Amino acid sequence: MTTNDEKRSTLRLDKVFHVLIESPHFGFMNCVARNISTGGLFLETRMPLPLGSPLRVYFAFPNGTEGISALGEVKNHYFLNYASGEGPATITGMGVRFTQFDSDGADRLQRSVTQARMQH
């Protein structure tokens, strides 16, 4: 068994962009997304919501004409250590699994991810 095999079932895009999340229990939060697919995304935030928390995510890609809104659930918490030009650094965040998109959001997200991956 190879441990480095890609096990994700959807194309993933490493792209940094701002998102707004809305939680029924914690209100609105601005976050930075660092990784997205039609299955979910990684959100950088100092205060991850509790595991299992439902939320709504609002975002738009720079090349998109309209925003995308999706329901999701917090599936994982992350604390990442890495080296930067200024020395050691950290990122705290949460993995969110999308559970439902508004209107044709899943299709538009898939097209945006595919288009962005083809350009790079």
pLDDT score, position 117:
62
pTM of the model: 0.81
Between CA 68 and CA 78 the distance in angstroms is: 24
Burial of 109 (0-12, 13-18, 19+ CB in 10 A): buried
From residue 108, alpha-carbon distances to 38, 44, 95 in Å are 9, 23, 21
pLDDT tens sequence across 27-45 = 999 999 988 888 999 999 9
Between CA 52 and CA 54 the distance in angstroms is: 6
Q: CATH for 17-119?
A: 2.40.10.220
Which pLDDT band, with edges at 50, 70 and 90, does 11 fall under?
A: low
C-beta atoms surrounding 64 within 10 Å: 14
Annotated domain spans of the chain: 17-119
